[in-house]
Amino acid sequence: MQILNLCILLLLLSVGITSCKKDSATTDSKAYNPAEAVVVTDFFPKTGGGGQQLVIYGKNFGDDKSIVSVKIGGKQATVITVHDDGIYCIVPDRSYAGEIEVNVGMNATQQMAMANDTFNYQRRMVVTTLAGKKDARGNYDIKDGTFADCGGFLNPTCLIFDPANPDLLYMGQDGGDVRLLNFKDSVVTTPITRGMGNWSRIRSITFTLDKNYMIIANDQGDVNGISTSILSRASGFKDPKVLTSYKQCNGAYVHPVTGELYFNSYEKGQFFRFDLADYFANNIGIKDYQELFKIQDNSWEFQIDMAPTGDYAYIVVINQHYILRTDYDWNSKTFLQPYVVCGQPRTSGWVDGVGTQARLNNPYQGVFVKNPDYGDKKDPYDFYFTEQGNHDIRILTPEGKVTTFAGRGSSSIDPNPYGYIDGGLRTEARFNQPKGLAYDSTSHVFYVGDCENHCIRKISLEN
């Protein structure tokens, strides 16, 4: 019977008529009769989410769509086609309760009928807007305020939760100040400005293992300039001091288990190691770091994402469209020469695939998300990352398989993959050059720095 119903649904889509069960299918047109009762006998499918196609079976629906309305869970459904014994409609978003109500007729002749069963509404993952906005001309204010009235964000390229307070999400803006989203109070503030540390471009934010210090990476052109600064929680992160000195730092990151600092340079693709334990114990100098290796591309941006286990890190080569992996040597407490895990160096594109068969376009910040389906696998984490050039969020599995998670939707509107549309992850939602990405593992929510839309987007279950 389920196969039969699916065939009926396809028939609705192709010829715009409704059929009942196998023993009562008909194509005859019949007008609504106010003297007869409107009856809902069944519907199909029984479960689904917003945007689901639904067929409602019954009697005396008539053939005039203009006098027929359907509510599901109290939300108005879009009616596509009406026939005397069937209605084809689209399940509205957030119709959680699931009651199906059909109204036929107008004024004194209107009748209402309810389905005996409720539609089992399945909440889906959707993209919404948390904070930030611009006007129709692309203009926006930069100001502190509530999530609903905080202006727009300049260039939200780095997002990271405060490890000591999960209600605080820090935002690094390349070319701007550090903003702070406070989820408890639903407000945005600017606790750290570029002038405080004499920073040119704030490229990343990270924290020490004891959670007592913040480290900011600074991108500037002087070999003796500031590459990283350290700020103490005791001061409210108001006391920046130079931690390491070099030029063109694209990011700095702390090993999640052993606590060393790793930072880089755009100049020749250098990957540096700095011993934070030695710094705190012996106050080593700002040049006392070690170059471990150079990536295969000089003078190209890259950033580093540490796996929570500490076993490896991904090196995301932004402008050359690929991702490297560097494995951690636990004996020497250092990272080893990296190798390509996905994407084709110097070849951009949008292709889901495995390893070098996949195509990326300006991959940016990433987060590791534990996949419950992996069970007892040694590496239970998928790597989610933004793509500035593809306007989407991708997933990289431990085996090197790349798929598209969110973005590039609403293809019926126009062929562009970019834009500003909330909704279903792949069917509707659009981003415009997303860069920053953070993940709340407790509530299973993603936050996206949507740069050209100058806002923070949210990916979560409906409601």
> How many angstroms separate the CA atoms of 19 and 13, rounded?
12
Query: What band does 296 get if pLDDT is binned at 50, 70 and 90?
Result: confident
pLDDT of residue 463: 75
- Sign of the torsion formed by the C-alpha atoms of 237, 240, 241 and 243: positive
Residue 230, pLDDT above cutoff 60:
yes
H or E element in which residue 195 lies: helix 194-197
pTM for this entry: 0.88
Tens of pLDDT, residues 361-406:
999 999 999 999 999 999 999 999 999 999 999 999 999 999 999 9
pLDDT of residue 298: 87
pLDDT of residue 33: 97
Query: What band does 41 get if pLDDT is binned at 50, 70 and 90?
Result: very high
Residue 1, pLDDT above cutoff 60:
no
pLDDT of residue 11: 56
Please give the structure tokens belonging to residue 86: 């069937």
pLDDT of residue 6: 47
> How many angstroms separate the CA atoms of 3 and 9, rounded?
10
Tens of pLDDT, residues 305-331:
999 999 999 999 999 999 999 999 999
Given a contact cutoff of 8 angstroms between Cβ atoms, the answer to whether 101 and 114 are in contact is: yes
Tens of pLDDT, residues 74-99:
999 999 999 999 999 999 999 999 99
Query: Mean pLDDT across the chain, nearest whole number?
Result: 94
| pLDDT > 90 fraction of the chain, expressed in percent and rounded | 91
Sheet of 252-254, strand order: 252-254, 261-265, 270-274, 290-294
> How many angstroms separate the CA atoms of 303 and 158, rounded?
11
Q: Give me the mean pLDDT over the 152-162 stretch.
A: 98
H or E element in which residue 187 lies: strand 187-192
Q: Give me the mean pLDDT over the 230-255 stretch.
A: 98
Q: Give me the mean pLDDT over the 56-61 stretch.
A: 98
